[in-house]
Structure 1
């Protein structure tokens, strides 16, 4: 039933990140491909429920269609579904009753944008948070000289944050969370603080990847892994997660190699490498890397080429390693063995995987124009891309 709407909209996603740098919810942005299209709210909710069931994690719907959003506001939603409501709609008397009903039902609502006029008195308590873009935040641009009108009546979430420094400044100004991917200066910020990005852990995993790439005896691989038992536990947890889809439980590293083989094991070592850092500021980077890998893999699932799928997964997962290791890819790839097509995408920004990488970044950036352009370059249908996104987000939820 939900398939029809997946061909009528472009989807994008981004995380809500709290003060502990933990991801507390996912924002799903929905752009209609045609402004005049009639979109089915029930179909959208069915698609959303396939990834975020009622007893699952929280999702915030950012819907760029007034008619579709109006229909959603009149629907009984699962309580883990949050709704972002533009200020002009929140101030419309026709929406008072639906907003009150959603609030009474227990749904979290977020006020998006600055109201041009005072909201109806009974509506304001319906909103748990306001979403304030960094570019429009008078407290950020005017500092202590911000006008009295910049006072907050409800807690706020800061959007438009593109760096760790901006994220930290937003929290210092009282933001309850930031919305987006603050990864641009994660490397320089971590270096400025004198922190190591879990370097010992990373070196052990890099050594393992090299040994697996050479298909060394199991005894040598086990000896390397025993240097850090916590990594062994994490690897076993990943392999036994629902996302991996094995019918039997893997009980040891030796068992993993026997069941998986060296090539399939390498992709999960890649995932382990991308999530091994203990630097708090790198949590959003790790979160992004996992989703990139899963989405790139899903984009080529229908190709029937297992080698390509595995390489795309590694390409996405490794795409932020330069931030974790604080080294350019041209240096990193001298020590970490990767296939040639992955090397081209990460080091040279070229090759057959680069267009897929561009598509992933358009999804993360929630940019309709870039989404359409990347889809056209790949000659992929919007529905195919959206289905890949939902499968990837489901697998990510299983890993989380």
Structure 2
């Protein structure tokens, strides 16, 4: 590869704002460079949901056939690229190989060659308020905030792609009783309370106990044996790891039907920070990187302010510095995690250069973190 290949991401949700797919954008100098990078990501590829693969600003060409997409992958064909012979020649090859296609950047008036079955059609809802005449599942792009989602669906879109749900959220309120209970558990674990005391607190909410054990036993955690009780979890994991998983439990505690996309985003941020930052911090601090990323959206998930949540918790100074003050040793990794959520990779390139990271490591960590979050069950 002649220059760094970067990948950014965004989720795709349906009318109920449940996750439908993960959208990955490959930013490369050529299709050949993109293919070489993609061929190195087989082991990290997200498998729980469909993946929409975009080549960004590149014109798709026959060089893409050197990549064997995982079965859950759909290739995006940008509508403007249909005017190029190379792209028109690629489409039947992709179809013959059994690779599903999506049409992105669709605008009225663009001529679609006959005989193409596009599973998803992505269009800017600002330029095309109603998806009349589109074939396939219509996905709105370009939504500015959460309030913009409802009229897009009302006008006929089947879902949306992007980070609109991070903006325009309802005003803050007090912590719910269930969230406060998890915070009490977290504080007990951080203060190294007696195991029986923590067990007693967990037994007050059987659903939380079940969810915690389900997370610990998820494939992403990689345990060789099944953890069957909280006491067993303490024995195998220790208090530090258990603190991480209780933090994950807090992030995933919202009962809002639209929360799964937020949960996935928060946990993917945490996992990404953990993977790219591990080489820079002491081993005992790696879990704090995860918690920083996961808690970066905690105020939106819990419907309150970040100050209100953190005021109830006994967190290390480095975490609160990053989340409350925008400074400290974890902040550059949080900035990089957030930069991975932008269509334009320039901020990502800047942070990679600041941290002197290997772009290959960042690319693999990004895809791996999406896979990790994707495999957790949020219902």
TM-score (norm 1): 0.85
Task: Report if aligned partners of 1:205, 1:269 keep a CA contact under 8 Å in 2.
Answer: yes
Task: Report if aligned partners of 2:48, 2:375 keep a CA contact under 8 Å in 1.
Answer: no
Whole-angstrom distance in 2 between the partners of 1:262 and 1:75: 43
Equivalent residue number for residue 161 of structure 1:
143
Whole-angstrom distance in 2 between the partners of 1:151 and 1:387: 39
Q: CA deviation at 1:87?
A: 1.3
Task: Report if aligned partners of 1:91, 1:115 keep a CA contact under 8 Å in 2.
Answer: no
Whole-angstrom distance in 2 between the partners of 1:116 and 1:11: 29
Written as runs of structure 1 = structure 2, the 5 A alignment for 1:112-127 is 112-114=104-106, 118-123=110-115, 125-127=116-118
- Report the secondary structure of 1:216's partner residue: coil
RMSD: 2.6
1:238 to 1:112, Cα distance in 2 relative to 1, 3 A: same
Whole-angstrom distance in 2 between the partners of 1:337 and 1:266: 11
Written as runs of structure 1 = structure 2, the 5 A alignment for 1:218-229 is 218-229=195-206
Whole-angstrom distance in 2 between the partners of 1:228 and 1:399: 20
Write out per-residue CA displacement over residues 222-275 of structure 1, whole angstroms, 9 at most, x where no aligned residue.
111111111111100111112222222211011111222211110100000000
Q: CA deviation at 1:178?
A: 0.7
Task: Report if aligned partners of 2:77, 2:101 keep a CA contact under 8 Å in 1.
Answer: yes
Q: Does 1:151 align with 2:132?
A: yes
Match for residue 52 of structure 1 among 45, 60, 63:
45
Equivalent residue number for residue 340 of structure 2:
363
Whole-angstrom distance in 2 between the partners of 1:205 and 1:189: 22
- Report the secondary structure of 2:340's partner residue: helix
- Name which structure has the greater RCO, CA cutoff 8 Å, separation 6+: 2
Whole-angstrom distance in 2 between the partners of 1:335 and 1:251: 29
For structure 1, which runs of at least 5 residues remain unmatched after alignment?
Answer: 140-149
Whole-angstrom distance in 2 between the partners of 1:263 and 1:118: 56
Equivalent residue number for residue 172 of structure 1:
154
Task: Report if aligned partners of 2:39, 2:67 keep a CA contact under 8 Å in 1.
Answer: no
For structure 2, which runs of at least 5 residues remain unmatched after alignment?
Answer: none
Written as runs of structure 1 = structure 2, the 5 A alignment for 1:1-400 is 8-32=4-28, 35=29, 37=30, 39-40=32-33, 42-52=35-45, 57-66=49-58, 69-72=61-64, 77-114=69-106, 118-123=110-115, 125-139=116-130, 151-154=132-135, 155-185=137-167, 187-188=169-170, 199-303=176-280, 305-400=282-377
1:133 to 1:116, Cα distance in 2 relative to 1, 3 A: closer
- Report the secondary structure of 2:320's partner residue: helix
Q: CA deviation at 1:362?
A: 0.9
* Residue-pair matches, total: 376
Q: CA deviation at 1:289?
A: 0.7
Q: CA deviation at 1:75?
A: 6.0
Task: Report if aligned partners of 2:61, 2:86 keep a CA contact under 8 Å in 1.
Answer: no
1:363 to 1:290, Cα distance in 2 relative to 1, 3 A: same
Write out per-residue CA displacement over residues 292-326 of structure 1, whole angstroms, 9 at most, x where no aligned residue.
11011011123362223111100011111111233
Q: CA deviation at 1:384?
A: 2.3
Whole-angstrom distance in 2 between the partners of 1:278 and 1:186: 19
